[in-house]
Every structure is written in structure tokens, then in C-alpha cells.
Structure 1
């Protein structure tokens, strides 16, 4: 078991900054003391954290690991999740997760991805293939074909796309329940739906998206 002491650190415990500089003592994956050295503890390594702050890991509550090629100027030109081939998006997402971990995030909550990338990232981390913060994987963004007309996947209606990029389109309670069960079976732990338009985009008031029964079916699924 590795035993590490982080010395001379400014410490923020998540609620308040502790006075002065202090030390954090770690044994394996547990913090065993803050301040004085615990009885019987002898560090294998001491890291001088002068000028640094030790704090709990942060959690991003809306995280798109694979959307690293999006540009504001072209956001509405193509469906999100189609900017690059799936393999390239996956590798980019793995790099993004590592960067998140290295900048202090120990948890991220997925907010949607294409090609079931979120669940695959969790699988890869569990198997030790990549490193990153804990991830709560999200589904595709579920929507209706007559809703969110500002989304490219719906704008190009003549292509009649059921699933494209990070979007999946359903009509009727049965289709939504079937889609959700598939998403869960493939590793999604959060189901994302586009009940209203987002990102500051306006939508005509006469456009109806989800029916009440569709929303009820989504919850029941």
C-alpha cells in the first residue's frame, strides 16, 4: 500500500478553507489524516505542495466527452456526433476524460453522445484501458420528428433519419419505450430527452413535441 503525505498545502475541504498550511496523509486510496501525522503512519513519499491547494475532486454535471470538434459557427450545419468517424470521436473522448481528471474532476455526468460512446468509456475505464473520472453514461438524445426544428437532424427531414449522430427520433409511446430499453441495455444510466428547444434557440409555439402519453411512457420505461 502506497503511503503519501501532501505537505505545506492550502486545504479546502469543500466547505471552507482550513487556516494556514497543513498536510494530507493518504494510505492507498483513503485519506487517513489531515494535519498532524497519524499514529503509526510513515510516508513512502512526501510531496511538497507549497503554493498549491488540495481540495476534493470536482464533478461536472453536464459533460459531453466526445463533442470536441463542435464549432459555434457551424453548430447548426450538421447533427452533433457526426463531426468525425466514431473511432476518432471515441479517441478524442478518451483524451478529454484524461484531461478532466488531470484538472481536478473526479466525476462527470454524461449529457449525451453518439454511437454509445459514454457507456463504452465507462467500460474501458473499468477494464483499465483508459484513465479518467468516474462517468455516469448518458443515452442518445431522444426527440420526436416534429420537434426541435432547429436541430440539423430534423432540419434535413427529407433524409428520414431515425438515428443520426447523438440524436434518436421516435414517434408514439411504444417507440420511445423500445428505444429507452435499448439505450439502457447498451449501458446508458441517464436518459436524455429534448422536451423543449435548448441552446437559446427559438421555436414556433404551434410546434408540439412530445405528447403527454409519450412523456408518461418515457418515465414508465
Structure 2
């Protein structure tokens, strides 16, 4: 059985939730008094009148009633619905789509992108997302931001980072649409051709600090090239990528729209699918056989269609055509996958849509047939298990990291209540109260 490690994230969890051992006995407890609370989303049971005792960044006890002890801090959430902090399995936190996005790509330094990412990270955290997976960014920018958040220098969600995506020359993830000399300068080292070169690219991403390997198994909507949305890597290349990543202790997730790329990636042993637009019955069967997760990113599909059809369309012609082709199919795909029993992890592809609006995905998941509780499970226990972090995050049972959020409404009656988070604690530290 393969054992996958997210080394940098483990360090981030440690940094955010565990002070030095010599100070452990001196750290006062925080008593979070919850009117209604979802302690373990896996069980789906909402409990009432509970007190969560938080110390050294962890939930250490859960008590009946509203309890406080001398010297402790009391957080009064008696009028609120309390949940574990949300996990967004797919973001791009160092940038955001808009009329200047293509210009930003050639004018912003890595340092500037990290600073932009710090702004978006805070917005994301205050929206109730205490963990995110960034699946495609400048290596230097995202790894620096990940470290700054882990050390407490920047307020933001803990970051699982892939860095640059493993991409095929000329395809989605490569640089397209600029002068050739500009493209050569901007092209990341993670672009590859041929099995041996792709092994090299994976190894270099791990060397540079990737927690997870993200590949572009098919064409993509926002690459400025009319290269379609089908499979772009060859099968031997996919096999080389997955085998190399697994040998180096990393899971592999694939940006994949076309059904051919989805099935070829899964047949190669890939771990999860991002988007999955043309996922068919055979692809669904492979996902269930492999135990692979689907991250539907419905907000991205909804957003690109709105831009492509809108009066202020800032997409290029190639982007517009692909947006109108793929976007409308994603809701039905998710509905079929869910009905068939495919495991779903919450992910938005935020950075395509606006940072801080991540919770808009919940309503779209419900439109696709998930119950509000299933949508919450996708953003907590499912996403935690997807990343192998189920022992650390995704629930509020004793021993778990104290990532606690609250809303005033009842999200099980109206899932849109999750768009208005009123309290955020990450790793025992309050960020919004």
C-alpha cells in the first residue's frame, strides 16, 4: 500500500496548531460555546448546547452545556451554527481572472504575485476556508506564501501547493498567445514531452517543494490556444508522471475535461480529477474502481459562461469558444457522478472566479443533487480524506486541529447561509469574531 506524504503541509499544521512543548501547560484554554454544532460531518449529526475546549491549537475536549473555567477565554456562539473550517481543494490564490490577467502574467514578478496572494489568502480565510490546495502557480510565489502563512507572518488558510503544473509543450499549462521570445522566458520548467522528460519534470517539482503533483491531462478553457479540450499527454507520458510522483510520495491530480484524458489518467493510476466535464459511464466506473475523487469546480464553469456571454467579455476568441463548450456541461456531469456514488471533494478553481466567494460552490453542488449535508461533507471530511489529512482536519472531535467557523443561519435549511461566515478560528487562533 502506497504511503503518501504532504511534508510541508504537516509542518504547516504543526506550526499553526502546536506551540513549543515547554509552554504547553501555560497556554490558557478557549471555551467555544456552540448553540448548534456539527462536530463530525461524517456522521451528519448536529448537536446542541456544546462547549469545545481549545488548547495549543487543538480541540482537546467537547463538553455538554455551556462551560467556562477560570483564566480561559470564552467565545459565545450560542446563537450560531458551528462547523469545522472548510477546505477548498482547488484554488489559484496568487491571481484572479479579469481584464488585466494576461498583462499581469508578463508584468508581475514572483514577489509581487506572492503579495497579491497574501491579500487573497486573507479574504479566503475570512470566508471560512481554513485550508486550500493551490493547484497551479509560480513556484517561488506560492511556496513563499505557504511558508509565510505557516509561520504566522501572513493571515491565510494553510496551503497545500503543487506549484507549476506538469504540462505538455504547447498545451494547457504552457505559455500561449504571446510573442515567441516572451513565451520562452515565461515557460515553466514543468513543461515536458516524452516519458523521460516528464519524469524529470515531476522530480523537479518535488525537489522545489510541491506537496502534490498537478498535471494538465487535457486542454483547458483559459489557455489562449485553440487546441481543444481533449487528451494532450500520451498514455506513456501519463504513466511516467503518475509512477514517478507515487515513487516520490506524492499524489497526482489531473486537470481534465475530455473523457479520453480522464480515462487515460485514471488507467495510469491517477488519484483525482479536477473539473471532469466529459466524464462518462466508463470514466465513472474507473473512478469508483480506483477510489478516485472528483473535484467538480462548478463555480468555474458558471463563471466562464457568464463572462463569455456577457457584455464585457474579456476572454480571447479561443477562450470564449471553449468556455461556451464546456461550462454548461459541468452541472449535469456532477449530478451523474454523485448519483453513481463517485467520491466528491469540494473545490472551486477560485482565481477564475473571485477570491472570498468560494462558498458559492455549495449552492451549485446542491443544484447538482447533493444535499446540504453532503455538500458540507465534501468541504470537510471528504476533502480532508482526499489529501490524507483526515486525522488532522475536517472535524471538531478531540485531537483535531481547532479550525472552527460559525454562521448565523441554518445551512441545512438554506445552504447559502455558508456565504456569510461570522466567526473564524484557525489552529486555535481567532481571525474573525
Fold-level similarity (TM above 0.5):
yes
Question: Following TM superposition, by how much is the alpha carbon of 1:166 offset from its aligned partner in structure 2, in angstroms?
Answer: 6.9
Using structure 2 for the length normalisation, give the TM-score.
Answer: 0.43
Aligned to 1:60: 88
Aligned residues: 213
Structure 1 residues 93 and 179, CA, compared in 2 at 3 Å: closer, same or farther?
Answer: same
Answer yes or no: is the 8 Å Cα contact 1:145–1:154 preserved in 2: no
Contact kept, 8 Å, 1:108 with 1:134, in 2: the verdict is yes
Correspondence 1:96 to 2:120: yes
Two-structure CA RMSD over aligned residues (Å): 3.3
TM-score, length-scaled by structure 1: 0.77
SS at 1:61 equivalent: strand
**Number of the residue aligned with 2:181:** 159
Offset of residue 3 of structure 1: 1.3
For the structure 1 residues 216 and 109, does the alpha-carbon distance in structure 2 shift closer, same or farther, using more than 3 Å as the test?
A: same
> Which runs of no fewer than 5 residues in structure 2 stay unpaired?
1-26, 245-433
Change (3 A) 1:172 1:196: same
Return the alpha-carbon distance in structure 2 between the equivalents of residues 24 and 106 of structure 1: 18
Name the CA shift for 1:16/1:173 in 2 (closer, same or farther; >3 Å).
same
* Partner of residue 211 from structure 1, selected from 234, 241, 248: 234
User: Are 2:110 and 2:140, in contact at CA under 8 Å, matched by a contact in 1?
Assistant: no
* Distance of 1:25 and 1:153 partners within structure 2: 50
Partner of 1:49: 77
* Aligned residue number for residue 86 of structure 1: 110
Unaligned runs of 5+ in 1: none
Task: Specify the SS of the correspondent of 1:54.
Answer: strand
Determine if contact 2:29/2:72 at 8 Å carries over to the other structure: yes
CA distance in 1, matches of 2:190, 2:203: 13
Q: Deviations over 1:135-179 (max 9, x none)?
A: 11112122222434xx78233473373562778422222322222
The partner residue of 2:137 within 95, 104, 113 is 113
Counterpart of 1:143 in structure 2 is 167
Per-residue CA distance 1:82-129 (angstroms, 9 max, x = gap):
462222210121222233223322211121101432222222233332
**Residues 111 and 141 in structure 2, CA contact (< 8 A), matched pair in contact too:** no
C-alpha spacing 1:42/1:207, structure 2 compared with 1 (3 Å): closer
Could you say if the C-alpha distance between residues 206 and 35 of structure 1 is closer, same or farther in structure 2, counting changes exceeding 3 Å?
closer
Tell me if structure 2 keeps the 8 A contact 1:145–1:171: yes
| Largest Rg, 1 or 2 | 1
Distance 2:179 2:213 in 1: 24
Distance in 2 (CA, whole Å) between partners of 1:107 and 1:152 is 27
Among 125, 145, 156, the residue aligned to 2:149: 125
- 1:197 touches 1:203 (CA, 8 Å); kept in 2? no
Give the superposition deviation at 1:58.
Answer: 0.8
2:30 corresponds to 1:4: yes
Partner of 2:58: 30
Q: Per-residue displacement from partner, 1:5-50 (whole Å, max 9, x unpaired)?
A: 223533222223224x443332332321232367x95451222224
Structure with greater proportional helix content: 2
- Measure the CA separation in 1 of the matches of 2:72 and 2:122: 26
